[in-house]
Structure 1
Amino acid sequence: MTDLTLRQLEYFLAVLDRGSVSDAAKDCRVSQATVSAALAQLEKQLKVTLIARGPARRARPTSAGREFGVRAREILSNVSDAVESLNDESAALQGPLRIGCIPTAGPRMLPATAAQFVKHHPQVDVSFVEAHPLTVQQMVLNGEVDVAVMYRKQIQIEGVTRHDLAEVQLHAIVSADHPVAEQDGVDIAELIDDPLILLDSPPTADLLISQIRGIGYEPSVRWLIPNAETIRSMVGLGLGFSLANAVPHPDTLTFQGMPVRYLPVTNPEFANTIVGVTMTGARLSKKLTAALDILRKTAADTDPHRWKHQSRTPKLTHP
């Protein structure tokens, strides 16, 4: 039997995640020579090349390396779970925790989640990755993140398990001087003649367009933009309206200092859920359970209904 060590697996996965031996060494707080030696010994023992060295000293996994990486993560996770199971319920949570998130939900979910871990679980080495929905789901399946935060309607891959965090209501974003700006809610029919500016983050735009068509309307899409802040600025300038599930505090301004309004879309077809996604069959450790609990609390604390009666910025005129 090949005598592998957990340290070899740890260094190999660090190279896989960081993309270079030097960055992996920094993360593991050892020298580059230590990581290189461990990796070379691992490849010698397995009689296979796991990492291909590319230009600029970048390290990319071979097909064998990708497959072995999934197994290696399972091994380290199982060992961590075994150690955790021996601890008392009161023992402090510790060790790495990797949370993935789609960029549109990141501002809502990640900062407060990070603050909760720093305050209540300082021994947990929590890290975050933002990526598009399909990418972050694949990262769950590959074992690159422990849980991914996204929306229910974005789930496209089999082999993941959904954990509901909170119900969400789609909101229309309009300029502060739009005719519907002071309403408590809006039907898509009231906006259908306006230009629509959507986030260019597959499958978000396609899903929204399909849903609008499903209720009998044809949207006039003016632009697909990959940056939510850019979209908010365009809306603030009266160039169109947009749609979003994540709603910032009502005092949030555009880059140019202009207010916009977020109005709940009253059409029931747009109801959605913000979810945490884990690998199907993966054990929900105490650390992962704590992460899901914190994510649920964060989602509740940032529910736009909590801000309904808070101050709003006065109207500004377009420049």
Structure 2
Amino acid sequence: MELEAMLEAGPQLTLRQLELFVAATEHGSFTAAAQHAYVTPNAVSLAVGELERVLGVTLLVRHRARGVTTTPAGIQLVEGARALLRQAADLQLTVGDHGTNLSGPVALGCYSTLAATVVPELWERLAERHPEIELSITEGTTEDLVGQLHEGRLDCVIAYEVALPLGLAVRRLYGAPPSVVLPESHRLAGRAAVDLAELDGEPLVLFDLPPSGQNTLQLLRSRGIRPRVAHRTTNFELVHSLVGRGMGFAVQYQHSGVEVSREGRRLAFRPITPEPESEPVMVAWPERLPLTSRAAAVVRLAQDCLPVEETAG
């Protein structure tokens, strides 16, 4: 439901009612929502009931001893309610600071392998420019992070463009070119760049955290190579350890900056020739949920400072 429609519902509709309704949808029962909001289950029930009366729709189906189920109307309301609550919180913080400083929390999601190079730079710059903003970071797969984004748990996410669904506002940060990871003793490790065709038939250590695994396989197949996957893992450091022991080569889109495995074995990161297209790294948020002034500042800062990684191999 659009914010304007909710505001036109009349003076009976309150932010507290929306807050308790959202809590009920997120926690699946009035009891769990009450524990989260430090009120009684009856208070949650009354708030939701009043919302339903004002809006003239059923928002939650009550199940005896089995919690609640959100109706289609309730699902429609949740997104707008979260947006309104976030805007109200943002307004309170802005007015409290007399509009001169940005302060308060910003929840940023970051695809796991990007975090090590993206987060430190962004966090340091943010501390210099907006020291009152409290940045929290959640790492995970793009699918998990986008889910939390739509649930209102995150303000924005940083991820590869290829895995982002429709319905998000996006801004490009930089391009991540893929590179080959080889053990230092590999016959091609001394090359300035590596043609993937020369690795045809060799075992592949596949970093398989979506979308990286699929990206790697598509790249190899586009070069006429049938990958022989020796091991799949979602552990970035394990990929390096296995490659360091000579158990295969790997392809990665984010240069770690340290050419050594956790075991101390040296690795060779080499550009791919012919050079493939870089994978765009984006910052994204729901189109229907406007950014708070704090989150917008983080997005602008990310656009300013993160393109320095553009040339990473």
For normalisation by structure 2, the TM-score amounts to 0.76
- Cα 1:158–1:127 shift into 2, 3 Å: same
Cα distance in 1 between the residues matched to 2:61 and 2:110? 28
Match of 1:263 among 262, 270, 273: 270
Deviation, 1:232, is 1.1
1:288 — aligned with what? Answer: 295
1:144 — aligned with what? Answer: 153
1:246-286 alpha-carbon deviations (Å, 9 max, x no partner)? 111235x3222222222222333342111111222543554
1:217 — aligned with what? Answer: 225
Deviation, 1:298, is 4.9
Range 70-79 or range 88-97, more displaced: 88-97
Question: Are residues 1:46 and 2:51 paired?
Answer: yes
Cα distance in 1 between the residues matched to 2:119 and 2:29? 26
Deviation, 1:8, is 5.1
Q: Superposed, which structure 2 residues align to 1:63-142 within 5 Å? A: 63-64=70-71, 67-80=76-89, 91-142=100-151
Amino acid at match of 1:128: I
Query: If you compute each CA radius of gyration, which structure gives the higher value, 1 or 2?
Result: 2
- Residues paired across the two proteins, number: 296
Amino acid at match of 1:224: R
2:187 — aligned with what? Answer: 179
Question: Are residues 1:33 and 2:38 paired?
Answer: yes
SS in 2 for 1:268: coil
1:311 — aligned with what? Answer: none
Cα distance in 1 between the residues matched to 2:36 and 2:63? 20
Match of 2:173 among 145, 165, 188: 165
Cα distance in 2 between the residues matched to 1:276 and 1:82? 23
1:272 — aligned with what? Answer: 279
Cα distance in 1 between the residues matched to 2:208 and 2:15? 41
1:205 — aligned with what? Answer: 213
SS in 2 for 1:161: strand
CA contact (8 A) 1:211 1:270 kept: no
- Cα 1:210–1:110 shift into 2, 3 Å: same
Amino acid at match of 2:226: E
1:146-202 alpha-carbon deviations (Å, 9 max, x no partner)? 2111112223x2111221101211111111211222333222122223211112223
Amino acid at match of 1:111: P
1:314 — aligned with what? Answer: none
**CA RMSD, aligned part only?**
3.8
CA contact (8 A) 1:2 1:46 kept: no
For normalisation by structure 1, the TM-score amounts to 0.75
Range 89-98 or range 207-216, more displaced: 89-98
1:32-83 alpha-carbon deviations (Å, 9 max, x no partner)? 634867534433433554899999xxxx973346554322211123335656
CA contact (8 A) 2:20 2:48 kept: no
SS in 2 for 1:138: helix
SS in 2 for 1:247: coil
Deviation, 1:31, is 8.6
- Cα 1:219–1:282 shift into 2, 3 Å: same
Deviation, 1:242, is 0.9
Cα distance in 1 between the residues matched to 2:84 and 2:203? 52
Amino acid at match of 1:161: A
Amino acid at match of 1:278: W
Runs of 5+ unmatched residues, structure 1: 309-319
2:56 — aligned with what? Answer: none
- Cα 1:53–1:243 shift into 2, 3 Å: farther
- Cα 1:175–1:283 shift into 2, 3 Å: same
- Cα 1:263–1:96 shift into 2, 3 Å: same
Share of identical aligned residues, percent?
23
Runs of 5+ unmatched residues, structure 2: 1-9, 53-58
Cα distance in 1 between the residues matched to 2:123 and 2:31? 26
Amino acid at match of 1:33: Y
